[in-house]
Amino acid sequence: MKKQLTIGRIVSYLFCLSLVCMVVFGVSYARYTTSVSGNASAWTAAVAMDGKITTTQVDVSGMQPGDKKEISFQVINFSNDKVSEVAQNYAITVKTAGNLPFTFTLEPVSPGTADINSKAGWAGDMKETGDVWKTEISGFLPAAEQTTHSYKLYIEWPTKANEPKYADEIDVVTLIIHAEQAMPTAS
């Protein structure tokens, strides 16, 4: 007698076939799996920048026509024993309230400062923009190398600017050093 295919037999055959497929595919799939582990450490670079002004307070209140003040300051890339681990570009700006007719001159003093600045395209003349006198002097502080750039800022009240309207005026002079991380150059 011939066995007939009934729905129950078809279902049981399919069930057995699926079990066999799961075992075969499960074993063969497991042969190609792998796992990887590892560890790494990272740290951020220490950034240090400071400015040192040799005078504790710049007092322009007693200035009169013909007077000239000198302010010495330094831009450095270290603080205490820590040297900056990133290279930095910086620019120097002198800001004033604009109430008195001051003129400003900024000069590099330390050896090598002018050379570094000339590479960055420095020019000694300041340009007046509203109440801010901006200078083209900019500098570069290298990474991981203790560097000091010294400057002198001269504030002068021209002799010819002696009008009575300046008699009771006050002014504020602020020295701003803006620094940012220098982008590495492609070699």
- Which residues have a Cβ under 8 Å from the Cβ of 145 and sit 6 or more positions away? 77, 83
3-state SS class at 173:
strand
Residue burial 144-175, b: 16+ Cβ < 10 Å; e: rest: eeebebbbebebbbeeeeeeeebeeeebebeb
3-state SS class at 3:
coil
- Domains annotated for the chain, with CATH where assigned, are 1-32 (no CATH), 50-181 (2.60.40)
Query: In the structure encoding, which two tokens stand for residue 6, read together?
Result: 């009934």
Q: How does strand 68-76 pair with strand 78-79?
A: unpaired
Lowest mean pLDDT among 3-12, 75-84, 126-135: 126-135
- Looking at the chain, the whole-number percentage of residues with pLDDT higher than 70 is 68
* pLDDT computed for residue 119 by the predictor: 35
Is pLDDT of 55 > 60? no
112 C-beta neighbours (distance < 10 Å), count: 12
CA dist 61 and 154 (Å) reads 15
* pLDDT computed for residue 65 by the predictor: 92
CA dist 50 and 71 (Å) reads 16
CA dist 105 and 107 (Å) reads 7
pTM passes above 0.85: no
CA dist 26 and 16 (Å) reads 15
Query: In the structure encoding, which two tokens stand for residue 75, read together?
Result: 């831009």
Span 100-156, pLDDT tens digits: 888 888 888 876 554 444 333 333 445 555 566 666 567 888 888 888 888 888 888
Q: Which candidate, 67, 23, 51, places its Cα nearest to that of 156? A: 67
**E strands within the chain?**
50-53, 68-76, 78-79, 82-83, 88-96, 103-108, 126-129, 132-141, 148-156, 173-181
